[in-house]
Structure formats: structure tokens, C-alpha cells
């Protein structure tokens, strides 16, 4: 009995100890559970969600660029791409090695990826490869467990339906560089592009939009299970241009293979309806990256396809400049419209002889015939009387040699020289410089856009400024009404004298450009030819009678120019055509201008709200 009592006591103590240990363990477990679930529950829930949920920013769709009728000339399409999130990759080099066995990566691409990983936060995705094919995406998805940190994403890429035809106006987009990303973290998003040229650059901020976000549920190896939430980015604003895309195509077609440019403007309000440069380039190549071979081909082309000749090409205006000299002479009252100046075919100043383009001369020439016949001697004398400073002042008032208020990057101002300019170079201005300036040669340099603006101001009598933006985000922009532009401050009677002279150039048989006459006898065009030398022609070459510029190498031939406006009685459209080394303004540039103006008048874009019929996009030569 005592033995049983003793064993019972031992059992009871053991049970108590065991129970106490169990209570202690359970208490500790309960305390830990309380700590985990209550005290630190929110933190662990956050960590669990971070492992389960992948939150990413998404680049916003870029706004479109449209022509005046709403036709897209820059838009976007779907772009499948592979991204790498550094913080989700166990070992980045191993992940990239595995990816390269599926979709090969070059050394340059590996270096770019490493550079971007090092300069960005580890949670920001880095582009590994874009423009993936369907087969590439399938192989990446199948091998996802071996590619930690790699995900396939869908974005957009820029497309240009009119390609080379509008490249110099629309411009192009390209990946941001380190300086760009430092200024705006949004630019670090994969696939996001920024405008590098043209309207893409000028309206870049409006076109970018605002970023969105997406939350994805992923498994332990990072495979996307489902999308939990998405906040779409705000698409960039659409930009509507003044350009008529159909007219632009027609102008490019008419320029053919010539290295040339042409600008068509609404001379009442300055809207640019077409601005063509030939040759051109495909802007979409910059989106994916231009190859070294392509870049070398562009830069070695003597016709300079990357340069917007309309806004950045500088040319001596030749005889198209004579209207500015004539108005300066009328305003200064050093000439009268009916005064005749004798042209024997040359103009002697001391021991220097300046030649007229017509070897036998024009005889007695007044203002109207001076323009009509493009008599050099007449304008040598007018320039001598007026002086270079007054010629320069009038030329700038008319839009030459100045920075125009153009909403397109990269325009050049050219040069209208003065005495002060020459003295700033450490040299004195002499009377011979004034003489050659009278026919648009010497130091004078202008752009085709300036020539079109110059012609528009002569035709309208208003200080119109060329512009390309018509709508921004749907809102009509200022400048589309003629009343938005101030008067030119040149008497209408003087402008009428110039216009009449330009009319006779085209519409009278003895004018310098009767071949520019429009095919419709009910509509008249006024214009002016110009041929500007790119090398000096010596007196001996001229007087020998054997000089023929057409036999010169292409790069030594004169540039061919023509400016015009129509209809003559109610001017609405102004234009300029410059054909590099085209030799003759009358023979080369004038027929091109005639054909372009004919289709402009048929399409009549300034008076349409809908695109004209397709057949009006063809130029009949």
C-alpha cells in the first residue's frame, strides 16, 4: 500500500512537470503567435503581399500627331518586350545567361542592361529585349522558372504611317539618356520614348502623358498568376498639325529624285500646308536604334537626307530677292515706278564689271519690267542708290534673315548683311558688296521657309508667321485667323506694283517663267525665278561665250529657285521651291512650282474641313 502511494506521488509530480512544460510551451507559442499575428501582423501581411503581389508602373500611351483633317501621321502599336526586375533575380548574370540561350543578347546589349541596372533602383524594370516575336515570348514563358526576375510585358512602339514623307516635320522618338532620366524619373520606365526632333520634340511634354500602375499576383518563381488591379496611365494629348498629308505626299512625288525642298503656306494666316524635303529618312529606325552602317550611309550622302532643307538649308536667294530691293527703293524714294534704267548687259563700277544674265542687255527697263525680265543691271543700280542697310531693314521686315516664330526646332536664321555686321568681322563694307546684294548674291543666305514667308507677306500685306500646330488636345490654337496678324506697314500701292511685276513673270510671254503658267486659264499665279551661284564665274569665262553651267559637275551648278502665290486676284497660297544645283530657276524650279500650285488649288486645303478625294493627291506632270 505504501509502495503504491509512493509511486502515485511520483507519477503526479511527473504529470505536473509535464503539464507545466506543455503549458509553458503552449504559452510561449501563444505569445509568439500573438507577436506575429497581432503585434507584427501588419508587417508580415505586407511582406507576404510583397512576395505574392508585384506592383509595377506602366508607361502611358504616347499621344498621336494628326494632320489638319485628323489623319494619324504618328501613332503607336503593340510592342512585346522582356523586362528584368533586379530585386527579383537571384543572380543577374546567371539570369541573363539563361535568357541569352533562349533569345541571344549581344555584348552591347549586355553592357547596356548592366549600365541601366546600376543606375536605377532595383525595383524599376530594365528593358532586356523589345519587339519580341510570338515564338520568342512562348519560349520565355515556358522557361520562366529558370529566369527569375524576367517577365514578358506588353507596351507600345511609335509608328509613322507616312515614313519618309513627313520625317522632317514629325521628327522621331528615341530612348532617353542618363541626363533625361535624372530630370524626370518617369523616363526610366521601360519602353518610354522621348521626342528627339521635329514636332515629337517640340510637343514632347504634351505627348508623353502620365504613368499608370498595375498589381500582379505571382507565384514563388515569379510567374504571373493573375492581374489584381490596374490604373491606366493617362494618354498624352493629340497634336493636330496644319499639314495636309495628302498634299505633302503629292509634293514629295513631284520633287522626284531631286535634292530639293518646297514649302506651301496659307498666306492669310501662316499655316504651313506642306513642307517637303528630299531626300529624307525613315524616322521609325531611331525608335529601335540606328545601325552604324545606316548612319554612315546617311552622313556620306552629299544630298544630306538628315537635314530639313526647308528650315535649315541656307541658300543665296538670287533673283527672288529682287522684290525686297525694289520695295526698299520705293520706300526710300530713290526710284519711281516709271523711271527707266538702261541695261547694256553689264554694269561698270570703277574697273569692276558686273554682268547681267542677258549678255546683250535689256535696254531701258522700268520697275515692272525689271521684275518681269529679272534684269540684273536694273537692280544693281537700285541697290547702289538704296544702300545695304535699308535693303537689310526691308528684307527683315519681309521675313528674310530673321528667326521666324516657327513651332519646330532647328531652324536657322540665315544672314542679311549690314555695314555693322561686316565691321564686326574686322572688315569694311564696300560698294561692290552692295551691288551683288542687289541680285541676292554675296553674303546673303536665307532658308526656303523664309522665302515662302516673304512671298506670303508680299501677297497678303500682313506679318504672318509660319506655324505647324493647329490643335493641341482638341483645342484650336491662335493664329488661324488673318486678323491675328498685324499689317506689314508697307503701302498697298507699293505691294501692288511688286505683285503686278510677279504676275508678268509668269503670264506674259516675255517674262522669265511663262512655263509656270497654270493650266486653268481662269486662275493666274504670280511668281519670280531665281538662280544662285555656288561658285564664282570669272569675267573671262562669261565673255568667252563658251561657259555652260549645265556642263559643270553637279555640286558646282547654280541652285534653282522659284517663289509664287495664287490666285493672283485673291491671294491665298504662297510657296517656295528650291532645287539644289538645279541650274535654272525658270527651267527647273518653275515647272515644279506650277504643278504643285495646280494641285494645291484643286485640293484647296484652307477651305476644307474634310480630306479631299483621293485622286487629288496625284500630280500630273
For this structure, is 549 an active site residue? Answer: no
The Cα 411–Cα 434 span in angstroms is: 27
Taking the CA atoms of 102, 108, 109 and 110 in sequence, report the sign of the dihedral they define.
positive
| SS3 state of residue 283 | coil
Q: Which residues contact 112 (CB under 8 A, 6 or more apart)?
A: none
Q: Which residues pair with 275 in a beta bridge?
A: 263
Reported residue count of the chain is: 621
193: closest CA among 176, 177, 216?
A: 176
Query: Which residue, chain included where needed, has cell 516664330?
Result: 405
CB 564 within 8 A of CB 525: yes
| SS3 state of residue 229 | strand
Whole-number Cα distances in Å, 454 to 125, 327, 559: 52, 12, 19
φ/ψ (deg, to 5) at 571:
-55, 130
447: closest CA among 307, 339, 541, 288?
A: 307
Whole-number Cα distances in Å, 164 to 130, 279, 313: 23, 8, 18
Cα Rg of the chain, angstroms: 36
Give residue 348's Cα distance to chain centre: 46
The Cα 10–Cα 14 span in angstroms is: 6
Whole-number Cα distances in Å, 442 to 317, 435, 532, 549, 588: 10, 9, 10, 19, 23
Q: Which residues pair with 158 in a beta bridge?
A: 76
CB 148 within 8 A of CB 221: yes
The Cα 53–Cα 56 span in angstroms is: 10
Q: If you ran DSSP here, which 8-state letter would residue 62 be given?
A: P
| SS3 state of residue 534 | coil
The Cα 459–Cα 466 span in angstroms is: 14
Whole-number Cα distances in Å, 424 to 419, 494, 605: 9, 34, 46
- Pseudo-torsion of CA 460, 466, 470, 473, nearest 10°? -150
Query: If residue 127 lies in a helix (H) or strand (E), which one and from where to where?
Result: strand 126-130
| SS3 state of residue 132 | coil
The Cα 319–Cα 502 span in angstroms is: 12
330: closest CA among 366, 289, 284?
A: 366
CB 495 within 8 A of CB 501: no
C-alpha cell recorded at residue 157: 512602339
Q: Quote helix, strand, coil % in the chain, to nearest 5.
A: 45, 20, 35
Q: Which residue is catalytic, options 319, 395, 437, 532? A: 319
The Cα 164–Cα 9 span in angstroms is: 102
* Residues with a known catalytic role: 319
Amino acid at each position: 500500500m505504501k509502495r503504491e502511494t509512493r509511486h502515485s506521488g511520483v507519477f503526479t509530480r511527473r504529470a505536473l512537470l509535464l503539464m507545466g512544460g506543455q503549458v509553458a510551451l503552449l504559452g510561449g507559442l501563444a505569445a509568439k503567435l500573438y507577436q506575429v499575428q497581432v503585434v507584427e501582423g501588419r508587417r508580415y501581411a505586407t511582406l507576404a503581399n510583397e512576395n505574392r503581389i508585384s506592383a509595377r508602373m506602366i508607361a502611358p500611351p504616347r499621344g498621336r500627331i494628326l494632320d489638319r483633317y485628323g489623319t494619324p501621321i504618328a501613332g503607336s502599336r503593340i510592342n512585346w518586350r522582356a523586362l528584368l526586375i533586379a530585386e527579383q533575380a537571384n543572380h543577374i548574370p546567371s539570369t541573363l545567361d539563361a535568357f541569352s540561350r533562349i533569345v541571344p543578347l549581344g555584348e552591347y546589349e549586355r553592357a547596356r542592361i548592366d549600365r541601366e541596372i546600376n543606375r536605377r533602383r532595383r525595383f524599376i524594370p530594365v528593358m532586356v529585349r523589345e519587339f519580341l516575336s510570338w515564338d520568342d515570348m512562348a519560349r520565355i514563358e515556358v522557361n520562366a522558372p529558370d529566369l527569375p526576375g524576367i517577365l514578358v510585358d506588353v507596351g507600345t512602339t511609335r509608328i509613322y504611317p507616312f515614313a519618309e514623307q513627313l520625317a522632317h516635320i514629325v521628327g522621331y522618338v528615341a530612348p532617353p539618356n542618363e541626363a533625361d532620366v535624372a530630370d524626370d524619373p518617369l523616363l526610366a520606365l521601360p519602353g518610354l520614348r522621348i521626342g528627339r526632333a521635329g514636332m515629337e520634340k517640340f510637343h514632347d511634354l504634351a505627348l508623353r502623358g502620365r504613368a499608370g500602375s498595375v498589381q500582379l499576383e505571382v507565384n514563388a518563381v515569379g510567374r504571373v498568376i493573375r492581374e489584381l488591379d490596374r490604373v491606366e496611365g493617362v494618354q498624352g494629348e493629340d497634336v493636330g498639325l496644319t499639314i495636309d498629308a495628302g498634299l505633302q505626299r503629292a509634293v514629295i512625288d513631284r520633287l522626284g529624285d531631286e535634292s530639293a525642298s518646297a514649302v506651301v503656306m496659307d498666306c492669310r494666316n501662316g499655316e504651313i500646308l506642306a513642307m517637303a524635303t528630299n531626300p529624307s529618312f525613315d524616322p521609325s529606325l531611331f525608335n529601335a536604334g540606328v545601325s552604324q552602317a545606316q548612319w554612315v550611309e546617311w552622313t556620306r550622302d552629299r544630298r544630306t537626307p538628315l537635314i530639313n532643307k526647308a528650315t535649315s538649308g541656307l541658300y543665296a536667294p538670287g533673283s527672288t530677292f529682287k522684290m525686297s530691293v525694289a520695295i526698299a527703293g520705293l520706300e526710300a524714294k530713290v526710284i519711281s515706278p516709271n523711271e527707266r534704267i538702261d541695261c547694256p548687259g553689264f554694269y561698270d563700277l570703277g574697273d569692276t564689271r558686273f554682268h547681267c544674265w542677258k549678255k546683250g542687255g535689256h535696254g531701258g527697263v522700268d520697275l515692272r519690267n525689271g521684275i518681269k525680265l529679272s534684269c540684273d543691271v536694273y537692280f544693281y543700280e537700285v541697290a547702289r542708290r538704296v544702300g545695304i542697310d535699308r535693303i537689310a531693314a526691308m528684307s527683315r521686315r519681309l521675313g528674310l534673315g530673321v528667326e521666324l516664330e516657327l513651332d519646330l526646332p532647328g531652324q536657322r536664321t540665315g544672314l542679311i548683311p549690314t555695314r555693322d555686321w561686316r565691321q564686326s568681322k574686322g572688315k569694311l563694307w564696300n560698294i561692290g558688296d552692295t551691288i551683288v546684294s542687289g541680285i541676292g548674291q554675296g553674303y546673303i543666305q536665307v532658308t526656303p521657309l523664309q522665302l515662302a514667308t516673304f512671298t506670303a507677306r508680299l501677297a497678303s500685306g500682313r506679318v504672318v508667321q509660319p506655324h505647324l500646330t493647329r490643335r493641341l488636345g482638341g483645342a484650336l490654337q491662335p493664329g488661324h485667323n488673318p486678323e491675328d496678324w498685324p499689317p506689314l506697314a508697307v503701302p498697298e500701292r507699293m505691294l501692288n506694283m511688286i505683285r503686278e511685276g510677279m504676275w508678268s513673270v509668269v503670264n506674259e510671254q516675255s517674262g522669265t517663267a511663262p512655263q509656270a503658267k497654270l493650266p486653268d486659264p481662269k486662275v493666274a499665279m504670280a511668281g519670280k525665278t531665281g538662280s544662285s551661284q555656288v561658285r564664282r564665274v570669272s569675267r573671262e569665262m562669261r565673255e568667252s561665250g563658251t561657259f555652260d553651267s549645265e556642263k559643270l559637275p553637279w555640286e558646282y551648278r547654280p541652285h534653282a529657285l522659284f517663289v509664287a502665290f495664287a490666285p493672283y486676284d485673291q491671294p491665298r497660297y504662297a510657296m517656295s521651291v528650291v532645287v539644289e544645283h538645279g541650274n535654272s530657276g525658270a527651267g527647273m524650279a518653275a515647272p515644279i512650282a506650277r504643278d504643285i500650285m495646280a494641285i494645291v488649288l484643286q485640293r484647296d486645303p484652307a477651305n476644307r474641313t474634310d480630306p479631299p478625294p483621293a485622286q487629288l493627291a496625284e500630280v500630273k506632270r
